[in-house]
Structure 1
Amino acid sequence: MSVKSAKRVLEIFELLTSYPNGLTIKEISGLLSSPQSSTFNVVKTLEDNGYLTSDIGKKYTLGAKLIEIGNSAMESMDLSKIGTPHLTELGQYVQETVFMAVLSDEELFYISKIDNNRSIRTTAQPGFRKPLYCTGLGKAFLAFMPADLRDSILERTELVPITEKTLTDRRMLEAQLETFYAQGYSIDDEENEEGLYCLAAPVFGAGNKLMAAVSVAGPKERMTSRKQDIIVRLKETTKRISAGLGHNDSR
């Protein structure tokens, strides 16, 4: 999609927020001073993908897909607002890099990163995506999400080796995830980046909804020498963030 088309999409969304009863393509075209033919193509593409909906009179209104996106955006804003002070405190204590990520389209999506003067170079940054099966954060999602969702995701996931230590056998991965669920945290032992060891734990919201995951990452030798201490602080942090999101912890 061109920049011009993307701008037109945004203009249509903003326009329709002021017309809850909807507008026809001709009306949209006139109000935006755009050619009717190109407006038709953009509107139909948005409708086909659930971002717009139309009634019997061919009047278009904002679609249900935008509600999902809006809810996700609100959740991310709440997570960032509630989580950042706790992530900062965790980072100051462990003196390693701290991340928080959410699940987006069956991938890991980083929303926060807390650096310190001992942070190591890593490819993970806010706004970046990574696979679930080979990251500590991703394995936290897989371990604690509903079993049917995990099965459907793994069915569609090709377990490609990222490093020599990446698990590519589904049965071994599922056994590992069971262990992670039982202990309340997950591990990435140089499976996504050589030299990087990661401990991660889930964040829940109201109704026991899996909202996010938090991780501490650093050089393997340094991380493993303080592993139990880091795990305790990590789980305390995710418990506090979860409480702030309305979760009643029972673990």
Structure 2
Amino acid sequence: MAERSKKEPKVDSTLSKGLSVLENLARARRAKGVTELARELGLTKSNTFRLLQSLCRLGYVRQETGGGYAATLKMWQVSRASVDTLNLREFAAPEMAYLASETGETIYLAVPEQLSVVYIDKIDSRKPIRTWNPIGGAAPIHCVGTGKAILAADYDRLRDKLVEPLPSHTDRTLTTLNALDADIERSRARGYALDRGEFRDRIYSFGAAILLPDGEPVGALGISVPNVNLPDGGEDRFGALLAHAAEAVSRKLNRA
């Protein structure tokens, strides 16, 4: 006798609708009114209003002065706690090993920490001339590849936190916001960021951001290369490899 197939568990409709409201507001960059939300989600205005009131009481949504509704920081805190439980090193390990094999250079995994990046994992190069940063070490976000990749992914929010003149580390460091603006645009167009000796003389670093489903950069993969090791055409090749690897890690996070 064939085994009876298990029934799919029922989804509570009120919970489902409430989550759809919360997800909509979390993605939005402005407050939204009841009518707009109801139209976008295919709900009645009365139902949408009741859901918003419940979310306000729970602290996930607030009503703005103009009458619209927006997600609160509680939504961010919950999502950040969820991210913290993910083992980013484990997710990124295969891609880091691939990059190390393909380039022979030092590979880093970095996460943002205010206006710096902190290296949480690395694979050292075995070449005689190589770069070196310790796990747990930090670097300014505006002048290394991993940092500039994170900036490029969240520049609208992070730009206002940067103050001129930006700290200088070599004669190549970008110290004005206008110069950084142009560099970020180039990074976005290429799909990866590049530091040509801006933090350490004669050290090139590439970076590509690892993104959460909502587009928030949770970290970045990086390749660090002494300029004497960089082959002809190396910028394009290393950058393309890195962008592909970071995208692969982002896809894993999206499925987690």
Give me the TM-score of the superposition, normalised by structure 2. 0.64
| Change in 2 beyond 3 A, CA 1:72/1:205 | closer
SS at match of 1:81: helix
- Work out whether residues 209 and 246 of structure 2, in 8 Å CA contact, stay in contact via their aligned partners in 1: yes
- Work out whether residues 217 and 223 of structure 1, in 8 Å CA contact, stay in contact via their aligned partners in 2: no
- 1:210 counterpart = 2:217: yes
Q: Distance in 1 between matches of 2:181 and 2:173?
A: 14
- 1:192 counterpart = 2:199: yes
- Work out whether residues 174 and 198 of structure 2, in 8 Å CA contact, stay in contact via their aligned partners in 1: yes
Q: Percent identity?
A: 25
After superposition, give the CA deviation of every residue in 1:65-89 in whole Å (9 maximum; x if it has no partner): 99787545324x2x11110121011
SS at match of 2:183: helix
- 1:173 counterpart = 2:184: no
Q: Distance in 1 between matches of 2:146 and 2:111?
A: 9
Q: Which amino acid aligns with 2:216?
A: K
Partner of 2:122: 113
- Work out whether residues 97 and 120 of structure 1, in 8 Å CA contact, stay in contact via their aligned partners in 2: no
- 1:73 counterpart = 2:87: no
Partner of 1:244: 252
- Work out whether residues 117 and 146 of structure 2, in 8 Å CA contact, stay in contact via their aligned partners in 1: yes
Report the number of matched residues: 180
1:124 deviates by 2.3
| Change in 2 beyond 3 A, CA 1:154/1:83 | same
- Provide the aligned C-alpha RMSD in A: 2.4
After superposition, give the CA deviation of every residue in 1:212-238 in whole Å (9 maximum; x if it has no partner): 111111111322522222122111111
| Change in 2 beyond 3 A, CA 1:231/1:204 | same
1:50-69 matches, within 5 Å, as: none
Structure 1: 5+ residue runs without aligned partners?
Answer: 1-63
Q: 1:233 aligns with which of 223, 228, 241?
A: 241
Q: Distance in 2 between matches of 1:90 and 1:138?
A: 18
Q: Distance in 1 between matches of 2:131 and 2:161?
A: 26
Partner of 1:87: 96
Partner of 1:124: 133
Partner of 1:54: none
- 1:98 counterpart = 2:87: no
- Work out whether residues 137 and 186 of structure 1, in 8 Å CA contact, stay in contact via their aligned partners in 2: yes
Q: Which amino acid aligns with 1:241?
A: V
1:147-166 matches, within 5 Å, as: 147=156, 149-155=157-163, 158-166=165-173
- Work out whether residues 119 and 218 of structure 1, in 8 Å CA contact, stay in contact via their aligned partners in 2: no
SS at match of 1:245: helix
SS at match of 1:197: strand
SS at match of 1:202: strand
Structure 2: 5+ residue runs without aligned partners?
Answer: 1-73
- Work out whether residues 96 and 119 of structure 1, in 8 Å CA contact, stay in contact via their aligned partners in 2: no
